[in-house]
């Protein structure tokens, strides 16, 4: 992209470039990000009365739109250009000599350090983290549009390259199935089959043995015949299923039939015990879903555990293994909190409702400092306890499973680090989940980490992230944007590609975005709780239970007086704009109130109803929550909205939350999600399946859920006037066409049911876990060097810093 800068220098726009740089130089800042650059360039074009095309279509305009970072020095101008998704290029301009040249990552990182006064070459060199060599011989996705489709890539291109001959396929399958058992129950093969040639021959004989049987013949009828041939239980519950699975063994794998591997693995139960790690605690079921900083994650984890366990039990039944006492088990691993404040979080085990064998297992932190470890700890302070927690959890998991897990899923930075440590101990596949990564949420958090360390401990978190995401066998994301962003924004994972932690280390390449470990698997919605407003409660077929709940919630939302409710509506019968969110700045509830307050049209058409954890300043859990409460009250008072809104500050049960959506939908209301950024948007799909026309932020996951204007509406929460106008345009169209509200409502329901359901999610996750586990065993030596490198980073960087924080805790 340096040629684009060169083109500007050789054109009449050279003067504009230098005048624009001079305009930026008047600012005290020297480091500009994309939004700042675009805003400044827009002002420049306006001040110079440039024609309309100049901003977008001139050579300089094109350069500016590709520029994601601009750094000014006395003599040099550094450009970080992003010509396309998942691609970054660096160049620098010597303004004295008009010379532009490509620059390397190392120079840019050193320049960033100098910019913040943290570059001291006399102290010696700095550790460079570069994962490039470890991915050099790994398969790589070529087209950025296919990033996030790792499973499909492995099942097609990699299979074709790996299995040139049927014998290679049989050899890997034989190694996979040999010596597998469930506790004392042998599975798949016995000692009559000792090599791949016998596996192929005996499979043909087994097919002959069951060929004359009725397809529905139960497995026990021909069990002994198959055992004589070398086959143990696990191939199917009847003759039809067994025949289907055995036929896979003699099918060629390659580009001509890329689905063979996926279909074979889908029919073979390879996972019986699975662990989902969510460390920071306050994990239970009703009314104990974390603190405000973790509640969304825990809803996801518990729903995922329930549906994974249900899917595993179903696979066991299809394999015919339930006859032999084989049972799946899912465990949500978290920390035990002795001072549990009246909850069950001090109990070691808790069974998950609606499951046969899924549990919450709580393991305490070791008591280095009882004043801390006896109580809940913020996710920012738990880093020193994770290594010993993993060691203790290993013992507890072996006890609960009466063996070892078959797969581990980590959640968030801390849970993923623990999952990595456990996967190394158990030698099993590890899947990484982190719908929100902290580094891109806090601008310049890595560059100024020393100034923020006391409060945030970013050196530990970003190191843990880098280790865990590279060590993972596969990474699950809810949206494509999580990985590589959009043409205008950098993805959360992409932000770990190049960064500096001044005086700690430089990351030259922290993640390989084109590696097929990334898989897009959105979460689902629990349709027993969240369902359309015109349907009855699935639990109570006569609808009485649902009607009673809806009447109670309408009273709560619109008319009931309560110390935990603010506002008294002049007209409770008007449709409502509903919002449900934690009290954090990024969720932008204060922006929604500001938008409502500025718009007489919205106030005429709607009541505003929003739900948070509390309405009381003195009950705020932290300074951020307190600040948001104060901003809400200030905006309400400034626009005199006391009789036009209802602010409900109480924690509702999950079924009641589902009822809230339906109660608002019944009166033809809408749902508004005004977050400045949302990684996925569970409330978005909950509202949509309830039948509420939904207006959700265009920044993040909701833009992939909603097809704007088709089944919902994307809004820009930074442009309050445009947001109000979009809602009012919808209202005007509803007035003109009485069916329009119902059309959008129905399309929203259909969208969620087709794409965002937990059953589909669980099947996809297990298919991924089995496929990556298969490749892990087939090419284990290819990953060992990378895993050793991540262990080195753990012991050389993470552990010493964690021990330093532990010492501070023990002194406090």
User: pLDDT tens across 29-63, in order?
Assistant: 889 999 899 999 999 999 999 999 999 899 999 99
Write down the pTM of the prediction. Answer: 0.89
Instruction: Convert 755-783 to b/e letters by CB count within 10 Å (16 or more is b).
Output: ebbbebbbbbbbbbbbbbbbbbebeeeeb
pLDDT tens per residue, range 592-632: 999 999 999 999 999 999 999 999 999 888 888 999 999 99
How far is the C-alpha of 21 from the C-alpha of 9, rounded, in Å? 13
Residue 548 has pLDDT above 50, yes or no: yes
Residue 189 has pLDDT above 90, yes or no: yes
pLDDT band at residue 778 using 50, 70 and 90 as cut-offs? confident
| Overall average pLDDT of the 352-356 stretch | 93
If one counts every other C-beta atom within 10 angstroms of the C-beta of residue 754, the result is: 9
| Overall average pLDDT of the 751-779 stretch | 91
- Which residues face 697 on adjacent strands? 715
Residue 256 has pLDDT above 50, yes or no: no
Residue 782 has pLDDT above 80, yes or no: no
How far is the C-alpha of 135 from the C-alpha of 772, rounded, in Å? 16
| Overall average pLDDT of the 166-181 stretch | 83
At CA 29, angle to CA 27 and CA 35, rounded to 5?
A: 90
Residue 539 has pLDDT above 70, yes or no: no
DSSP-based three-state secondary structure for 607: strand
**Contact predicate 761/524, CB 8 Å:** yes
**Contact predicate 645/609, CB 8 Å:** yes
The pLDDT of residue 291 is 66
| Overall average pLDDT of the 514-543 stretch | 84
Both tokens of 239, joined, read 């003759």
Residue 747 has pLDDT above 90, yes or no: yes
Instruction: Convert 319-357 to b/e letters by CB count within 10 Å (16 or more is b).
Output: bbbeebebebbbbbbbbbbeebeeeebeeeebebeebee
DSSP-based three-state secondary structure for 648: strand
Q: Smallest Cα–Cα separation from 531: which of 661, 356, 723?
A: 661
Instruction: Convert 223-261 to b/e letters by CB count within 10 Å (16 or more is b).
Output: eeebeebbbbbbbbbbbebbbebbebbeeebbeeebebb
Radius of gyration of the chain (CA): 29
The pLDDT of residue 369 is 82
DSSP-based three-state secondary structure for 186: strand
| Overall average pLDDT of the 350-372 stretch | 92
Residues contacting 201, CB < 8 A, separation 6+: none
The pLDDT of residue 255 is 42
The pLDDT of residue 680 is 86
Distance of CA 633 to the CA centre of its chain: 32
**Contact predicate 641/597, CB 8 Å:** yes
Distance of CA 128 to the CA centre of its chain: 28
Residue 637 has pLDDT above 90, yes or no: yes
Q: What is the DSSP string of 509-526?
A: E---TTSTTEEE----B-
The pLDDT of residue 260 is 77
* β pairing state of 670-673 and 694-697: parallel
Going from the N-terminus, what domains does the chain have, and what CATH number goes with each? 2-103 (3.10.450.330), 164-251 (1.20.120.1230), 273-436+449-479+518-524+767-811 (3.40.50.2000), 544-756 (3.40.50.2000)
Element (H, E) at 501: strand 499-501
The pLDDT of residue 542 is 56
pLDDT band at residue 528 using 50, 70 and 90 as cut-offs? confident
pLDDT above 70 covers a percentage of the chain that reads 95
Q: What's the distance, Cα to Cα, between the start and end of the chain in Å?
A: 52
Specify burial of residue 651 (Cβ count, 10 A radius: 0-12, 13-18, 19+).
middle
Give the residue with greater pLDDT, 474 vs 163.
474
| Overall average pLDDT of the 235-260 stretch | 80
Q: Smallest Cα–Cα separation from 657: which of 556, 523, 540, 535?
A: 556
pLDDT tens per residue, range 464-498: 999 999 999 999 999 999 999 988 889 999 999 99
Residue 348 has pLDDT above 80, yes or no: yes
pLDDT tens per residue, range 273-321: 999 999 987 888 766 666 655 666 788 899 999 999 999 999 999 999 9
pLDDT band at residue 161 using 50, 70 and 90 as cut-offs? low
Both tokens of 248, joined, read 């896979």
Residue 429 has pLDDT above 90, yes or no: yes
Residues contacting 300, CB < 8 A, separation 6+: 411, 435, 523, 682
How far is the C-alpha of 805 from the C-alpha of 812, rounded, in Å? 11
Residues contacting 145, CB < 8 A, separation 6+: none
Provide the mean pLDDT of the chain. Answer: 91
Specify burial of residue 562 (Cβ count, 10 A radius: 0-12, 13-18, 19+).
exposed
If one counts every other C-beta atom within 10 angstroms of the C-beta of residue 208, the result is: 10
The pLDDT of residue 536 is 76
The pLDDT of residue 734 is 96
| Overall average pLDDT of the 392-421 stretch | 97
How far is the C-alpha of 336 from the C-alpha of 500, rounded, in Å? 36
Residue 121 has pLDDT above 80, yes or no: no
């Amino acid at each position: 992209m340096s040629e684009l800068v060169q083109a500007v220098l050789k054109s009449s726009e050279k003067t504009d470039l230098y005048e624009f740089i001079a305009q930026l130089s008047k600012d005290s800042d020297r480091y500009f990000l994309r939004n700042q650059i675009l805003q400044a360039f827009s002002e420049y074009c306006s001040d110079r009365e440039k024609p309309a095309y100049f901003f977008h279509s001139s050579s300089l305009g094109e350069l500016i739109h590709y520029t994601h970072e601009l750094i000014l020095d006395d003599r040099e101008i550094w450009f970080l250009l992003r010509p396309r998704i998942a691609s970054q290029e660096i160049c620098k301009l010597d303004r004295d000599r008009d010379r532009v040249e490509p620059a390397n990552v190392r120079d840019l990182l050193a320049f960033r350090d100098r910019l913040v006064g943290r570059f001291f070459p006399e102290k010696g060199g700095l550790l460079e983290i570069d994962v490039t060599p470890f991915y050099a011989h790994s398969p790589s996705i070529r087209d950025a549009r296919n990033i996030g489709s790792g499973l499909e890539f492995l099942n097609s291109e990699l299979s074709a390259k790996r299995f040139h001959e049927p014998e290679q396929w049989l050899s890997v399958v034989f190694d996979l199935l040999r010596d597998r058992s469930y506790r004392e129950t042998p599975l798949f093969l016995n000692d009559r089959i000792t090599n791949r040639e016998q596996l192929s021959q005996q499979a043909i004989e087994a097919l002959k043995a069951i060929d004359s049987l009725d397809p529905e013949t139960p497995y026990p009828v021909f069990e002994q015949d198959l055992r004589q041939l070398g086959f143990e239980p696990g191939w199917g519950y009847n003759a039809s299923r067994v025949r289907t699975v055995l036929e896979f063994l003699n099918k060629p794998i390659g580009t001509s039939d890329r689905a063979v591997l996926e279909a074979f693995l889908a029919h073979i139960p390879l996972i019986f015990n699975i662990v989902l790690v969510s460390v920071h605690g306050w994990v239970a079921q009703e009314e104990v879903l974390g603190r405000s900083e973790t509640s969304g994650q825990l809803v996801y984890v518990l729903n995922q555990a329930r549906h994974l366990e249900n899917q595993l039990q179903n696979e066991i039944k299809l394999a015919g293994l339930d006859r032999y006492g084989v049972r799946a088990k899912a465990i949500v691993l978290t920390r035990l909190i002795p001072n549990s404040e009246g909850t069950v979080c001090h109990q070691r085990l808790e069974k998950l409702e609606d499951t046969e064998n899924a549990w919450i297992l709580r393991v305490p932190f070791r008591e280095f400092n009882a004043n801390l470890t006896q109580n809940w700890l913020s996710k920012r302070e738990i880093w020193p306890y994770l290594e010993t927690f993993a060691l203790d959890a290993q013992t507890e998991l072996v006890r609960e499973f009466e063996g070892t897990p078959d797969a581990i899923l980590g959640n968030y930075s801390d849970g993923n680090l623990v999952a990595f440590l456990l996967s190394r101990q158990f030698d099993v596949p590890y899947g990484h989940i982190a719908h929100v990564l902290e580094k891109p949420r806090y601008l310049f958090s890595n560059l100024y980490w020393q100034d923020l360390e006391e409060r945030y401990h970013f050196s530990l978190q970003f190191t843990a992230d880098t280790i865990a995401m590279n060590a993972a066998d596969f990474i699950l994301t809810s949206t494509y944007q999580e990985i590589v962003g959009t043409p205008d924004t950098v993805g959360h994972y992409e932000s770990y590609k190049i960064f500096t932690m001044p005086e700690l280390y430089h990351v030259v390449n922290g993640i390989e975005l084109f590696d097929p470990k990334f898989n897009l698997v959105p979460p689902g919605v629990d349709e027993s709780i969240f369902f359309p407003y015109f349907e009855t409660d699935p639990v109570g077929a006569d609808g009485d239970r649902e009607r009673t709940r809806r009447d109670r919630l309408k009273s709560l939302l619109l008319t009931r007086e309560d110390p935990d409710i603010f506002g008294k509506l002049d007209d409770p019968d008007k449709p409502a704009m509903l919002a449900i969110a934690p009290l954090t700045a990024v969720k932008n509830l204060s922006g929604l109130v500001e938008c409502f307050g500025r718009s007489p049209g919205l106030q005429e058409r709607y009541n505003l109803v929003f739900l948070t954890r509390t309405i009381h300043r003195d009950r705020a859990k932290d300074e951020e929550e307190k600040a948001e409460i104060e901003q809400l009250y200030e905006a309400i008072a400034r626009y005199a909205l006391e009789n036009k809104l209802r602010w409900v500050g109480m924690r509702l049960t999950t079924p009641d939350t589902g009822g809230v959506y339906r109660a608002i939908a019944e009166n033809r209301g809408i749902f508004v999600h005004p977050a400045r950024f949302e990684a996925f948007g569970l409330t978005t799909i909950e509202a949509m399946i309830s039948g509420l026309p939904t207006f959700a932020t265009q920044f993040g996951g909701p833009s992939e859920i909603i097809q704007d204007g088709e089944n919902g509406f994307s809004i820009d929460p930074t442009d309050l006037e445009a947001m109000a106008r979009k809602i009012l345009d919808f209202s005007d169209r509803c007035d003109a066409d009485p069916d329009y509200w119902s059309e959008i409502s129905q399309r929203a329901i259909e969208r969620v049911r087709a794409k965002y359901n937990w059953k589909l999610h669980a099947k996809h996750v297990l298919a991924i876990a089995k496929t990556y586990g298969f490749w892990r065993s087939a090419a284990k030596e290819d990953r060992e060097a990378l895993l050793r490198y991540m262990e080195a980073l753990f012991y050389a960087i993470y552990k010493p810093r964690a021990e330093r924080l532990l010492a501070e805790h023990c002194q406090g």
